[in-house]
């Protein structure tokens, strides 16, 4: 969904920019409609954080294209401001939803344990990890073709006003901002964060071929297709992204032990678990008829923060992730003396442990 919406946003914005060529916005009775690019950008920004930097760069590039085509800079800025209202509203809605669900306006920084020590505080190392992941995912040829295509598109912007809107595709590379920021904060390496860059490289490689000599386009396209398929076979069951996505399958199977125990013994007391690290398992538990009100998580705000100091009196059950990325926030809190006093482990499976409180019922979250 993210890829389709971002590509649609780029295409719709390019068409919107094309309609502005030679126009004086102040002299028009009705400015060029922002509906189509606005809807695309809104949908993308509501889908994933990667769309936010892409949108920012897309708007900046749209401004440069409009000025490059002879529009007045103040008219161009006014038009971009109208289009920018769409992502501003989308991000505001996204942030309100985040605040309601997980207790933070944006993604909380404590939903992972910073175990990526190599990249922690080192943006260049984070960039290298991202680049290596892209190579593992797509092979050597596609990224290089994407870089060459980006250079050709930039040259086309400089040489030709008619082709200047192709530069909007460069915004797709802004998807790198999110994983680089995450790795710099110690987030564990995840090859799936490189997938948006595969789309970016493919798009820029195609654009580069499109601006090359006419006689070379078909041979270059066929050569690129052959090399990419050879280096990254599309139906490879051992592809890195497939292997990574299957890691959780074993955990899901193992956690059925915990689910079964809760179904048999849950006494109505609150279940404390991190939505940041175990949100997917919380979703699985909803299929076993445990609604969101049964859980104490980051979205409960101050109650969650007090419970992190000591869960006794706040929760009757704890589910702690203790395997992935060195464990979640509850796992590390449990290493503190007396943090688990009054709780006993009653089930374990899939890298998670279930603890039950002894004594009277704990209050639920509000």
At 198 the pLDDT is 97
The three-state secondary structure class of 256 is helix
The three-state secondary structure class of 54 is helix
Task: Report phi then psi at 320, rounded to 5.
Answer: -120, 125
> Are 225 and 265 members of one domain?
no
Domain boundary among 47, 68, 101: 101
Does residue 178 fall inside a structural domain?
yes
Please count the structural domains in the chain. 3
> Are 257 and 304 members of one domain?
yes
Domain boundary among 40, 74, 101: 101
Q: Please indicate whether residue 63 or residue 70 has the higher confidence score (pLDDT).
A: 63
User: Do 183 and 116 contact (CB within 8 A), yes or no?
Assistant: yes
Output the DSSP codes for 28-61.
-SSPPP-HHHHHHHHHHHTT-TTHHHHHHHHHHH
> Are 121 and 16 members of one domain?
no
pLDDT > 80? residue 247: no
> Are 231 and 257 members of one domain?
no
> Are 49 and 134 members of one domain?
no
> Are 192 and 289 members of one domain?
no
Output the DSSP codes for 63-102.
HHHHHHTT--HHHHHHHHHHHHHHHHHHHHHHHHHHHHHH
> Are 131 and 218 members of one domain?
yes
> Are 97 and 144 members of one domain?
no
Domain boundary among 171, 202, 236: 236
Does residue 126 fall inside a structural domain?
yes
Does residue 58 fall inside a structural domain?
yes
At 27 the pLDDT is 45
At 112 the pLDDT is 63
Does residue 106 fall inside a structural domain?
no
Does residue 81 fall inside a structural domain?
yes
Nearest Cα to 317, choosing from 360, 265, 272, 250? 272
pLDDT, tens only, 315-329? 999 999 876 555 578
pLDDT, tens only, 338-362? 999 999 999 999 889 999 998 655 4
> Sign (positive/negative) of CA torsion 109, 44, 58, 39?
negative
Does residue 366 fall inside a structural domain?
no
What rounded mean pLDDT belongs to the chain?
A: 89
> Are 150 and 228 members of one domain?
yes
Does residue 107 fall inside a structural domain?
no
At 215 the pLDDT is 94
> Are 232 and 116 members of one domain?
yes
Query: What is the domain extent for residue 316?
Result: 249-357
Does residue 363 fall inside a structural domain?
no
Task: Kindly report the length of the chain.
Answer: 366
The three-state secondary structure class of 1 is coil
Q: Give the pLDDT mean for 95-101.
A: 77
User: Do 199 and 172 contact (CB within 8 A), yes or no?
Assistant: yes
Confidence of residue 28 (pLDDT cuts 50, 70, 90): very low
Q: Supply the pTM of this predicted model.
A: 0.80
> Are 91 and 199 members of one domain?
no
> Are 231 and 158 members of one domain?
yes
């Amino acid at each position: 969904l993210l890829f389709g919406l971002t590509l649609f946003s780029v295409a719709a914005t390019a068409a919107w920019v094309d309609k502005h060529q030679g126009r004086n916005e102040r002299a028009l009775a009705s400015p060029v409609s922002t509906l189509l690019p606005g809807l695309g950008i809104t949908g993308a920004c509501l889908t994933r954080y990667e769309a936010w930097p892409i949108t920012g760069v897309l708007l900046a590039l749209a401004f440069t294209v409009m000025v490059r085509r002879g529009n007045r800079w103040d008219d161009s800025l006014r038009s971009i401001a109208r289009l920018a209202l769409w992502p501003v509203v989308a991000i505001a809605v996204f942030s309100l939803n985040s605040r309601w669900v997980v207790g933070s306006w944006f993604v909380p920084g404590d939903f992972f344990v910073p175990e990526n020590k190599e990249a922690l505080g080192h943006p260049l190392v984070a960039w290298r990890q991202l680049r290596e992941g892209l190579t593992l995912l797509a092979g050597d040829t596609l990224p290089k073709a994407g870089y060459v295509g980006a250079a050709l598109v930039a040259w086309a912007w400089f040489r030709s006003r008619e082709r200047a809107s192709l530069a909007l595709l460069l915004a797709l590379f802004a998807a790198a901002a999110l994983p680089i920021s995450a790795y710099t904060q110690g987030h564990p390496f995840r090859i799936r964060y490189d997938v948006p860059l595969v789309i970016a490289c493919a798009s820029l490689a195609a654009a580069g071929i499109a601006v090359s000599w006419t006689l070379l386009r078909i041979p270059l396209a066929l050569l690129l297709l052959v090399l990419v398929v050879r280096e990254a076979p599309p139906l490879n069951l051992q592809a890195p992204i497939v292997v990574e996505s299957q890691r959780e399958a074993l955990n899901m199977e193992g956690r059925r032990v915990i689910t079964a125990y809760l179904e048999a013994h849950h006494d109505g007391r609150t279940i404390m678990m991190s939505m940041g690290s175990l949100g997917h398992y919380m979703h699985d538990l909803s299929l076993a008829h445990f609604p969101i009100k049964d859980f104490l998580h980051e979205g409960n705000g101050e109650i969650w923060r007090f419970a992190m100091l000591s869960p006794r009196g706040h929760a009757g059950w704890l589910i702690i992730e203790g395997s992935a990325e060195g464990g979640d926030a509850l796992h590390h809190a449990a290493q503190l003396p007396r943090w688990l006093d009054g709780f006993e482990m009653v089930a374990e499976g899939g890298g998670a442990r279930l603890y039950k409180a002894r004594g009277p019922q704990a209050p639920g979250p509000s």
